[in-house]
Every structure is written in C-alpha cells, then in structure tokens.
A and B are shown apart, each in its own frame.
Chain A
Amino acid sequence: MVKRILNIITFVLIVLLVSFQTKAQQPSVYEVKRMSFSSNGFSDISPVIVKDGIMFCSNRRFSGITDRTAFDGRRLYNIYLAEKKDTSAFRKPRILKSERSDKFNNGPLCLAPDGKTVYFTSEVETGEITTEKNFKNHNGIFIADLSGTDLISLRPFKYNNPQYEVGQPSVSKDGKYLFFASDMPGGQGGSDLYYCELINGEWAPPVNLGPKVNSSGIENYPYIHPSGRLYFSSNRPGGIGNLDVYYTSFNNGSWEDPVLLPKPINSTSDDFAFVAEDNLQTGYFSSNRRIEDNIYKFTSTIIRKASCDTLVDNNYCFRFFEENAVKYDTMPFRYEWKFGDGNNATGPVVEHCFSGPGTYLVQLDVVNLVTKEVTYNEKTETLVLTEIEQPYISAPDKIATGQRIKLNADSTNLPGWKIARYYWNFGDETIAIGKNVDKSYTKSGTYNIQLIVSAEPEPGGVVKYACVSKNIIVFRQP
C-alpha cells in the first residue's frame, strides 16, 4: 500500500516536473494586471499614455451629486486623467471638462505630438428632433486644446458625418497622419480603419487601409505606435475572443498581414484600445474579461533592446593603393604587391580578400619602368585582422512562410565573456533561448531578429550583455 502511494507521488512529481519544464521552454510573453484606478461598476476604456500619467474614457460619476446620462439613460463617457503618484501608483482620476461634458459622450481620444491638441470622439449633432426610440447620434472626431484640465476651443473634424461613425483617432508621431475607425460607405464591411494625411495644414480625404487590414468584420481602436506599428482591434476570424488586438506595419508600399497579439493580452473576451510605451515593453489596453470594461497594464517579458547593433559580417577584403600613384596617370612604374598569404597582385590599386583573421605583412615592390630598377619592400604594412567582437546571427536573409530554419550563434566572438545565455527575439512576439534554435514565420514581412547574449554575473552582480540584430525577409510561399 505504502509502495503504491509512493509510486503515485512519484508519478505526480514527474508530471509536475515535465509540466514545469514545458512552461520553461515556452515562456509567457506578456504579464497583464488591472490598473488600480480602473473602477468597479463603471466602464473604463481607451487609455492614452501622457507625460503625467494616463488619460482614458470612463462612464464613472464625475459629480458626487448628479449622474450625467444620455437621453437613453446610459451614463455618459468622459475623458479622465489619472496622474502618476510615483512609479507605480496613480492619483484619483480627474475629469477633463469641455462644453460637451454634460451632454455628450466624450472619448476615445488621442493627444497630438504637441502634447496640447486633443483629438476625441463625441456625438455629432444632427440639429433635428426625433421621437424615434432607437435613435442614436453618430460619432465624429472633435479637436480641442488642452488647458489645464479643460478642453477648450472645440472644432469638428472636417470629415465628420451625421450619417455614419467616425471616431477613435490616433495621430502619428510626426503629426502627419490621423488614423481613425469609421463605417463610412465604401469600406470592407463593418467598421474599417482609415487614415488622413496632413497636406498644407489640411487633412486630405480619408484613405481606407485596404483589405489586408480591414476585414468584413469590425476593425476599430487604431493606435499608431511611434515605431510605425499600427495596433488595432478586430473581430475577424482566427482570433482568440471577440475583439482581439492585432498589429501591422507599412512596408514597401503596403500594409503587412496583421499579427495577432498572444494571450494574455488577448482573451476570450473583448480586448481593445492597445497603447504602448516607445520600447513596447509596457503599455495598456482595455478588456471586458472581468465583465466590465477595465484598463489593464501589460508588461512584456520579451526582451527587446531599444539599442541593438546591426550585425556586421566579418569582411577581410581590402583595396590597397599607392596613394600618390593614383593621382597621376603618367607614372612609369609597376606596383607589385605581396599580401603575406602567398598571393600577389600588380597595379597602383589592387584588391585582395584574405581568407580569415591573422597577421599579414603586405609588401610593395616598385619597378621603375624607365630605369628598370626595382625597389623591393618600398613600403610594408602589417595588417592584423580579427573577427568583429559581436554576437553573431547565422541565418538566411530570405525565407518562405512556413519554412523552418535553423539559426545559430556559433560564430559569436566575445573574447573574455563567460556566456550564460543566448536570447533570440524573432520580431514577431516570439522568442527562443539557446545557441542553436529553430524558427518559422507564418506571416510574410520583414522581421528584425535580435540576438541578446548575456554573460555570467561579474563580481558585484553586474551582468553585461551584447545585442545584434539582423533583418530577415519572409515571403509568402507561393
């Protein structure tokens, strides 16, 4: 009996260990946590990262006495600012009031690069009275100036239309592009993503992002990250829940296939309104995974270095020249080079590739064609060629979707380092650890792979690391 119990315990332990090891092989990419200021009983959505904290939309009470509601009895959304108290805590959110705060929903929103101009969603007035029960004003985009906690000088976006929805603005880092969602006619179906380009101080007509980005379902909550990545939400097939967060990038004249963010950012519920810090290591999004809409903070466990050297191929090819000889074409001399590796060449300018690292004595003999005199070793140069000190990514430059490739860091040259870990960031929200790894990509595009090599801790606990990156082009398998 005891033996049987021991066997069971042993089995359970083995299962637990295997389970633990499996998890260790595939580390979780993101950690998420509900924000402390996100309220119970109200809907908090659409965070915006600002210098002092986070702006967001909420239908929470903004007055202790009255509860503002729309004509249909639903509480109004307004724009709030949760200022940072310290590195992790936030003060109680304060409303950013405007002339529309008491009457209309306000938000989602974004802040222009100047930090003062606010683009926000709000209802467009038709100017007509209706008794229709299900009547609903359509949204448009409004532009205001931020003055303290007031939004002033409101003006409507020129492409607002009371016949359809226009909203959820996001302005690019350079201020030249305004992305937004709309169900205007002519789209791919449902709500689509559009952008307008600022030309001579005017927003040019909206451009649909096309069928690669927009599906027949819903695409909304665009967010253009400073890196150029466009995050958005969609309920297209192939997701994890209803609304899921995707991203795409504009490369070589077209938008790439959207990439679905993994769990736990996406869940079986609605996940939307994603924003991120410049380094993409932290950010915020909205989700109704706890029934109510709340704002969550995510922290990426993926290491991606903001500063990472581009991989440099070891190159031992040189052009040698007699500096003064190349200036004149009437030099009656013959220049004979010996490269110190058994190879020779003749001419005032010659090129030679050495086979690899080493010390080479390059000699120049000069034959005076007038006197026939030969000056041996007129000039010598000692070339010491070494491999570049860097982590090294051995990988093809181009692969097809679905093609499994092997990557290795065997040619890493970091003299004196006791390397503890080879960490691969494949640029598609996946990672791997090890000197030799496998990888395949499901979507076409250009991916920036980072190899981050870290050393054993030095005395004092300092861990040094080195990072190189390499682009790999993934083309669609025909």
Chain B
Amino acid sequence: MFARLSGQPVPGKDENIPFLVTFGKDGKTSWGDADFYQIFFFSILKDFTQPIYIRVFDPDCGGEYDEIQDEFNTKTKFSVYGGKGVDPEKNEESRGLLKGLNYKSGNLLASKIFGNDAKYDNKYYTFGPFNPSEGDFNTRWNSYIFKIVCEGISGDDGNLYRYFLSSDPDNNIPIEGANAFTYAYHFRMWNDFKSVSHIYPYIDTGIVYIRQSNFDWDNDGNILVVSRYKQGVSVPISNEDNWIFSKIPIEPAEVKSSLDFQFHKRQDELVKNNNVVITLENQRGDAVKFFSSPIGGVPVYQPKVGYEKVKPKK
C-alpha cells in the first residue's frame, strides 16, 4: 500500500503545516487544543528490517516556537508504544478519540518528559533504536505499527513540535514504504496570509460520506475540500473554542484515494498563532485516517465540462 512512499516528516512535506501542537493540561481549550494530547502512528513495511528511530524536533516547551502563557511551566511527555494493542484498526481505543479509554495501549517502548529545557530547544530528540518487529503487525498493510503519544502533563503552554521517522539516529533519513497517520490532527496554522496548509484523509472502501469536525478555527479563512472530482467544496469553520460539523458526500470514484483539505487563511485580517483541531469520521461513525504522505499522491482536480442540446427559447 505504501510501497512508493518514502519520508515520514510529520507534518508531511505536502501538508505544509508548520507544527503539531499540544498544550499543557492546565491550558484552556480556547487556545486550540481540545484534549491536551496528540497521537500519531507510524507504519513500517514488513520488508524493512533495519532499526528505526522516531525523532522529535523541539520537544521542549520553551525557547523558540512554543507558545508561552505568562511563563513556560509546561511539561510534555512523549511515549512510544509497540506490540499488541497499538494497531488502531484492531484496537479502537488506541486511536485516542474517546476520552476515558486507554489510548496508551500497547507496550511502552520508550518515554521521556520534557520541560523548558534549552538542551532540546530547536533540536531533535531521538527515540530508538527500535526493531520494526516491535510494532503491532497489520496484515492489511503488511506493516508494523508504532504509536507515539504526546501529552501535556502539566502547565498551560503550547508545545509546538514535529516528528521524523528515520533510519538514522542523528539524521532524517526516510524509510522506504513507511508512512504516518493520525485520527485527530492538532496543529498550528501559519502566521501569514499566503501559506495554505493541507491534510490528506484517505477514503477507504465503503465510505459514502464523511463528517468533519473542526475546533477553534477562530474563523480564520476557509477550508476547501479538493479531490479529482471536487474543485473545492467549502466546509464551515468553527469560531473560538467551539466545534462545528458538516457532511461531505463521497463519490464512488473518490474511494481508495485521498482528499485534500486545504486551509486558506483569512485575508482581511491576519490571525496569528492559531492552533486548530480537525477530525473526520465516515457514515458509520468510524474515524478516518489522515496520512502525512497522501495515499495515491496529492489529488488534483480534473475539470469536466459537459454540454447538451436544449430547446431554443422562443
């Protein structure tokens, strides 16, 4: 499924998202984080047998990039899980969408808590090495699945960070055929008018429509859904500290391909440091995955003009 993909920066290159964001649990949801944790999954093809590393850029909460509230007092915990219970297709709790359920399922392989620590500011911290077989094997994808959970365990600041799945502990070396995905995307919007961020949900077999939920968008521009068959369907966006929902019908031809959710910034007034959350579920209520590298590539709209004869108006 991911055979032609390589490179697992999270957020992905095509997503053009500056940072993931997780606030300390004492933060306010109006600042852009609905639940103070974020879960990502990495998949590594069974054929890849070399050690893997999960690198976290700017894991601390202080210094550059991070969002301060009065003073930096936040501790963020990054935990890597493997083994049984991790694969979210087999274990729904692992997706982390249902509060109170154990999204930390699986074997804890590594964990580290970061505070306001200049040592890790604007730098990478590397988890690993991990043997790929330590992941939870998914037969459909023929891949091992790892999970990384970021929790804001204390404080109220916003930790902005990125991941890279690498075959090297000190450099970002992509792993052929690997990918990363999540079910709830918490991220930072750009602080300029022009930059457009994207996320790429994968439309699996059987999906007839998707229900999108977005949180705390602060009316910052427009969300357009693009595919080969959608030039740009407008999706309603949320305001400060609230959720908004809408349905997007799926054409049969869109199944087994990715949609492109485009986030266009508001043009009349620059909204800065905007942190947002978006989730998708299908008509059955099952969460839909967002892949860092869009499955099938970035969808490009294919215009289709039709015409037919009509009776002349007399």
Partner-B contacts on A (CB < 8 A): 315, 317-325, 327-328, 330-333, 351, 353, 362, 364, 366, 368, 370-371, 378-379, 381, 383
For window 138-172 of chain B, which residues contact chain A by CB distance below 8 Å?
Answer: none
Q: Could you tell me the distance in whole angstroms from the C-beta of A92 to the nearest C-beta in chain B?
A: 61
Q: Does B305 sit within 8 A of A, measured CB to CB?
A: yes
25 contacts between A and B (CB under 8 A): A317-B309, A317-B312, A318-B308, A318-B309, A319-B308, A319-B309, A319-B310, A320-B305, A320-B306, A321-B306, A322-B306, A323-B305, A323-B306, A324-B229, A324-B304, A331-B231, A331-B232, A333-B232, A353-B313, A366-B303, A368-B232, A370-B234, A378-B303, A381-B305, A381-B307
Chain A residue nearest in CB terms to B235: A330
Q: Determine whether the beta carbon of A370 is less than 8 Å from that of B309.
A: no
Out of B230, B264, B303, name the residue touching A370 (CB < 8 Å).
B264
Out of A353, A379, A381, name the residue touching B312 (CB < 8 Å).
A353
Q: List 4 other contacts, CB 8 Å, given A317-B309, A324-B230, A333-B231.
A: A320-B306, A324-B231, A366-B231, A370-B232
Q: Scoring B residues 287 to 309 as 1 if CB is less than 8 Å from chain A, else 0, what string do you get?
A: 00000000000000101111111
Q: Could you tell me the distance in whole angstroms from the C-beta of B79 to the nearest C-beta in chain A?
A: 39
Q: Could you tell me the distance in whole angstroms from the C-beta of A381 to the nearest C-beta in chain B?
A: 6
Q: How far apart sit A32 and B264, CA to CA, in the bound complex (Å)?
A: 87
> Given the complex, which residues of B lie within 8 Å of A325, measured CB to CB?
231
> Given the complex, which residues of B lie within 8 Å of A381, measured CB to CB?
305, 307
> Given the complex, which residues of A lie within 8 Å of B221, measured CB to CB?
370
Q: Does B244 sit within 8 A of A, measured CB to CB?
A: no
> Given the complex, which residues of B lie within 8 Å of A322, measured CB to CB?
231, 303-306
> Given the complex, which residues of B lie within 8 Å of A351, measured CB to CB?
310
Q: Could you tell me the distance in whole angstroms from the C-beta of A445 to the nearest C-beta in chain B?
A: 25
Q: Does B233 sit within 8 A of A, measured CB to CB?
A: yes
Q: Scoring B residues 194 to 209 as 1 if CB is less than 8 Å from chain A, else 0, what string do you get?
A: 0010000000000000
Chain A residue nearest in CB terms to B303: A379
Q: How far apart sit A274 and B249, CA to CA, in the bound complex (Å)?
A: 67
Q: How far apart sit A320 and B307, CA to CA, in the bound complex (Å)?
A: 4
> Given the complex, which residues of B lie within 8 Å of A333, measured CB to CB?
231-232
Q: Does B4 sit within 8 A of A, measured CB to CB?
A: no
Q: Please judge, given known A-B contacts A320-B306, A332-B222, A371-B264, whether A315 and B312 are in contact too, CB under 8 Å.
A: yes
Q: How far apart sit A315 and B303, CA to CA, in the bound complex (Å)?
A: 27
Q: How far apart sit A100 and B134, CA to CA, in the bound complex (Å)?
A: 106
Number of A-B contacts (CB under 8 A): 78
Q: Could you tell me the distance in whole angstroms from the C-beta of A231 to the nearest C-beta in chain B?
A: 38
Q: Does B224 sit within 8 A of A, measured CB to CB?
A: yes
Q: Could you tell me the distance in whole angstroms from the C-beta of B285 to the nearest C-beta in chain A?
A: 23
Q: How far apart sit A333 and B230, CA to CA, in the bound complex (Å)?
A: 11
Q: Could you tell me the distance in whole angstroms from the C-beta of B91 to the nearest C-beta in chain A?
A: 36
Q: Could you tell me the distance in whole angstroms from the C-beta of A7 to the nearest C-beta in chain B?
A: 63
Q: Determine whether the beta carbon of B305 is less than 8 Å from that of A370.
A: no
> Given the complex, which residues of B lie within 8 Å of A330, measured CB to CB?
233-235
> Given the complex, which residues of A lie within 8 Å of B309, measured CB to CB?
315, 317-319
Q: Scoring B residues 4 to 38 as 1 if CB is less than 8 Å from chain A, else 0, what string do you get?
A: 00000000000000000000000000000000000
> Given the complex, which residues of A lie within 8 Å of B196, measured CB to CB?
371
Size class of the B contact interface (CB-based, 8 Å): 20 to 34
> Given the complex, which residues of B lie within 8 Å of A315, measured CB to CB?
309, 311-312
Q: How far apart sit A320 and B229, CA to CA, in the bound complex (Å)?
A: 17
Q: How far apart sit A381 and B308, CA to CA, in the bound complex (Å)?
A: 13
> Given the complex, which residues of B lie within 8 Å of A332, measured CB to CB?
222, 224, 232, 234
For window 72-112 of chain B, which residues contact chain A by CB distance below 8 Å?
Answer: none
> Given the complex, which residues of B lie within 8 Å of A364, measured CB to CB?
303, 305
Give the interface centre of B230, B234, B305, B306 by most chain A CB atoms within 10 Å: B305
> Given the complex, which residues of B lie within 8 Å of A324, measured CB to CB?
229-231, 301, 303-304
Chain B residue nearest in CB terms to A351: B310
> Given the complex, which residues of A lie within 8 Å of B308, measured CB to CB?
318-319
Q: Determine whether the beta carbon of B224 is less than 8 Å from that of A379.
A: no
> Given the complex, which residues of A lie within 8 Å of B303, measured CB to CB?
322, 324, 364, 366, 378-379
Chain B residue nearest in CB terms to A380: B305
Q: Determine whether the beta carbon of B305 is less than 8 Å from that of A331.
A: no
Q: Determine whether the beta carbon of B305 is less than 8 Å from that of A319.
A: no
Q: Determine whether the beta carbon of A370 is less than 8 Å from that of B222.
A: yes
Chain B residue nearest in CB terms to A375: B303
Q: Could you tell me the distance in whole angstroms from the C-beta of B181 to the nearest C-beta in chain A?
A: 27
Q: Determine whether the beta carbon of B230 is less than 8 Å from that of A317.
A: no
Q: Could you tell me the distance in whole angstroms from the C-beta of A183 to the nearest C-beta in chain B?
A: 52
Q: Determine whether the beta carbon of B264 is less than 8 Å from that of A317.
A: no
Q: How far apart sit A320 and B305, CA to CA, in the bound complex (Å)?
A: 7
> Given the complex, which residues of B lie within 8 Å of A317, measured CB to CB?
309-313
Q: How far apart sit A379 and B305, CA to CA, in the bound complex (Å)?
A: 7
Q: How far apart sit A74 and B278, CA to CA, in the bound complex (Å)?
A: 105
Give the interface centre of A324, A330, A331, A378 by most chain B CB atoms within 10 Å: A324
Chain B residue nearest in CB terms to A328: B233
Q: Please judge, given known A-B contacts A353-B312, A370-B224, whether A321 and B234 are in contact too, CB under 8 Å.
A: no
Chain A residue nearest in CB terms to B196: A371
Chain B residue nearest in CB terms to A363: B305
For window 213-255 of chain B, which residues contact chain A by CB distance below 8 Å?
Answer: 221-222, 224, 229-235, 249
Q: Determine whether the beta carbon of A331 is less than 8 Å from that of B310.
A: no
Q: Could you tell me the distance in whole angstroms from the C-beta of A162 to the nearest C-beta in chain B?
A: 61
> Given the complex, which residues of B lie within 8 Å of A368, measured CB to CB?
232
> Given the complex, which residues of A lie within 8 Å of B305, measured CB to CB?
320-323, 362, 364, 379, 381
Q: Could you tell me the distance in whole angstroms from the C-beta of B247 to the nearest C-beta in chain A?
A: 11
For window 24-59 of chain B, which residues contact chain A by CB distance below 8 Å?
Answer: none
Q: How far apart sit A331 and B306, CA to CA, in the bound complex (Å)?
A: 18
> Given the complex, which residues of B lie within 8 Å of A379, measured CB to CB?
303-305
> Given the complex, which residues of B lie within 8 Å of A362, measured CB to CB?
305, 307
Q: How far apart sit A317 and B224, CA to CA, in the bound complex (Å)?
A: 34
> Given the complex, which residues of A lie within 8 Å of B264, measured CB to CB?
370-371
Give the interface centre of B230, B249, B301, B303 by most chain A CB atoms within 10 Å: B303
Give the interface centre of A327, A351, A370, A383 by most chain B CB atoms within 10 Å: A370
Q: How far apart sit A370 and B310, CA to CA, in the bound complex (Å)?
A: 33
Q: Please judge, given known A-B contacts A323-B304, A370-B264, whether A318 and B310 are in contact too, CB under 8 Å.
A: yes
Q: Determine whether the beta carbon of B307 is less than 8 Å from that of A318.
A: yes
Q: Determine whether the beta carbon of A331 is less than 8 Å from that of B304.
A: no
Q: Could you tell me the distance in whole angstroms from the C-beta of A54 to the nearest C-beta in chain B?
A: 49
Q: How far apart sit A345 and B233, CA to CA, in the bound complex (Å)?
A: 22
Q: Could you tell me the distance in whole angstroms from the C-beta of A131 to the nearest C-beta in chain B?
A: 76
Q: How far apart sit A385 and B154, CA to CA, in the bound complex (Å)?
A: 73
Chain A residue nearest in CB terms to B304: A323
